Amino acid sequence: MRRSLQLLLEGEGYGVRAFASAAAVQADVDVMRAACLVTDYRLGDADGLSLLRGLRRIGWGGPAILMTAFASPSLAEQAQSEGFTQLFAKPFRPHLLVEAVGRAVGCQRA
């Protein structure tokens, strides 16, 4: 899924960095330059909510989009309160993610 979304967004002209874990995102020296975060709710070593919380703690202030196969009103409320601009329930239509990323970053492309 990660590779498919990377290829989709790169095909639309976005510069994409894909990571296999939350720890890898947080360890990336260029993380503060990211224009947008697209993350799954369930990650191998954390969850998307705690990933965004950690990025906010170090001063990253960009928009964030959450994807999940476990959508619920409770998770949607939590995601919104954590600062996610959009929540996508899987499966979703890829073009909707592309549009959401475009809105989030003001259509900035690589």
Query: Quick one: pLDDT band at residue 110, thresholds 50, 70, 90?
Result: low
Query: How confident is the model at residue 1, as a pLDDT?
Result: 86
Classify residue 88 as exposed, middle or buried by CB count within 10 Å of its CB (0-12, 13-18, 19+): buried
Residue 87 in this model has a pLDDT that exceeds 70: yes
Whether the CB-CB separation of 59 and 31 falls below 8 Å is answered with: no
Q: Work out the number of other CB atoms within 10 angstroms of the CB of residue 81.
A: 9
Per DSSP, the three-state class of 89 is strand
Query: How confident is the model at residue 106, as a pLDDT?
Result: 87
- The mean pLDDT value of the chain amounts to 94
Query: How confident is the model at residue 108, as a pLDDT?
Result: 59
Q: For the segment 1-51, what is each residue's pLDDT rounded down to a tens digit?
A: 899 999 999 999 999 999 999 999 999 999 999 999 999 999 989 999 999
Answer yes or no: pTM beyond 0.85.
yes
Determine the CATH number of domain 2-105.
Answer: 3.40.50.2300
Q: Work out the number of other CB atoms within 10 angstroms of the CB of residue 38.
A: 24
